[in-house]
Every structure is written in C-alpha cells, then in structure tokens.
Amino acid sequence: MTGATGVTGAAFVPMTPLFFRHLSGQADPVAELRDAAVDAVREACRGAEQVVALCPVGGREAPGDWHDPSRTRPLHGAPRSLAEQVGEHLLELAGVDLPATYVECTDGEADFRGLLDPGVRTALVVLGDGAAARSQGAPGHIDERSFAYDDAVAAALAAADRNALASLAQAPEAFELMVTGRHTWPVAARLEPRLHGGSLTHRSDPFGLTYVVARW
C-alpha cells in the first residue's frame, strides 16, 4: 500500500472488555482472539500515517461511558466509551504509535469522511461484534436468527462485500441481536472503494456472542 493515499487498510475487531488482560483474573479465555485482533490492527496500520477508529456507542452492549470494574477506587473524568478504550488498548498492544482519532458511531450514522485527508495514508480500526444471542448464558439469551446472521456477516467480511455488510448492519434483527457492529459497519462501508479483498482471520463465540476479526 506504500504510495497509496486515503484509507490504506482496515481492521475489523471485537470490542470485548476482556481484551484488557487483567479483567479475567488469573485465566485468559480470549488469548487467541486478542492475538488475532492485535495482528489485524498491526497489519492494517502498516505504512499508515494516522489511524481512525470507528467506535460503536449505543445500547447496553456498547456503553458510551465505561469504567474498569476492577479498579479499587472511583475514578472521575470525562466519559469514554468502551469501544474507544478497547481500540486504544489494541493499538497499544500492536505497538502502533500514530496519531489516532476515535469516532463515535451510532446506528451507522457517523460520517467521518471529513477526517480523511486524501493525501494522508489512513488506517481504519473498525470495532464491533456480531450477534450476542447464541447460548443460554449469552447477553441476549438464545435467538435462533443469530446463527444465519453471523454466517452472513462472516461471509461479507471475508469477501470485503461492503454492500452486504451495510445491509446486514441495517437489518432490524441487528438491533434485536445486540450486534454492536451495526453502529460501525455501515460507516466503514461508505468508504470510497479503494480497498479490495478481505480475509477473515478469526471467528469464535465463547460466551454466546460472536467475535470476528477481519482485514480489508
């Protein structure tokens, strides 16, 4: 991508707070997922001059103000979304030391194209998860529609099919299945079609909530 301008790479990554290693205690149930997400972020940022992170905000699944529950003293300060904190952490883990802008996205409405200087190579980090209703213990319990929905999302990400991804994000069940990607995927899909080809590098649902990692 060296020499190209505009958006030169995108990483689609989950926004689970379990990416913060200490939060799961002595166990690390998402080690493999974290590695995949960090790899995707690192690859997307290779050769870039800046990072734009698209951060879902809306609903209890994507809180706009999130506080680390393991802290021992109350913290006070400006609200920060869970997704922004996870995105920042993934960039740190990936060793990416570039100027980063965090854009709050709700229901796919954000328009960040004003942030994109066509003369600046920009990496996109797109936070968001799939359906959260795939098991009895899942945040949204069981909703059988989750399975077909997540399969379609995985296929769209693997094929870098922006129209399919935007359409899935805006389908009514995306809200009902607590899909946090519904906030950010349409925003990413409105990019000028500079990116070609996609690869899905990880998919899992250890807690009844689908995590997907992809690169465009």
Partner 1 sequence: MLTLGRHTFSDDRLLVMAIVNRTRDSFYDKGATYAEDAALDRVRQVVDQGAEIVDIGGVKAGPGDVVDLDEELRRTVGFVARVREEFPDVVISVDTWRHEVGEAVCAAGADLLNDAWGGYDPQLLEVAARHGAAYVCTHTNGATPRQPPHRVSYADVVRAAIDDTVALANRALAAGVARESLLIDPAHDFEKTTWHSLEITRRLDEMTATGWPVLVSLSNKDFVGETLDLPTEQRLTGTLAATAISAWHGARVYRVHEVVETRQVLDMVASIRGIRPPARTTRALA
Judged by CB under 8 A, the number of residues near partner 1 is 19
Q: How far apart are CA 14 and CA 129, in angstroms?
A: 5
208 scored as a contact of partner 1 (CB under 8 A): yes
Q: Phi first, then psi: give them for residue 125, nearest 5 degrees.
A: -115, 115
**Which position among 27, 119, 193, 197 is part of the footprint of partner 1 (CB under 8 A)?**
27
175 scored as a contact of partner 1 (CB under 8 A): no
16 scored as a contact of partner 1 (CB under 8 A): yes
If the CB atoms of residues 26 and 163 are measured against partner 1, the closer one turns out to be 26
Cα 195 to chain centroid distance, Å, stands at 17
Torsion angle of C-alpha atoms 210, 144, 56, 158, degrees rounded to 10: 50
66 scored as a contact of partner 1 (CB under 8 A): no
Specify whether the CB–CB gap between 175 and 143 falls below 8 A: no
Q: How far apart are CA 86 and CA 105, in angstroms?
A: 15
**Which position among 38, 169, 209, 212 is part of the footprint of partner 1 (CB under 8 A)?**
209
Which residues are at the interface with partner 1 (CB under 8 A)?
A: 16-18, 22-27, 29, 69, 72, 132, 138-139, 206-209
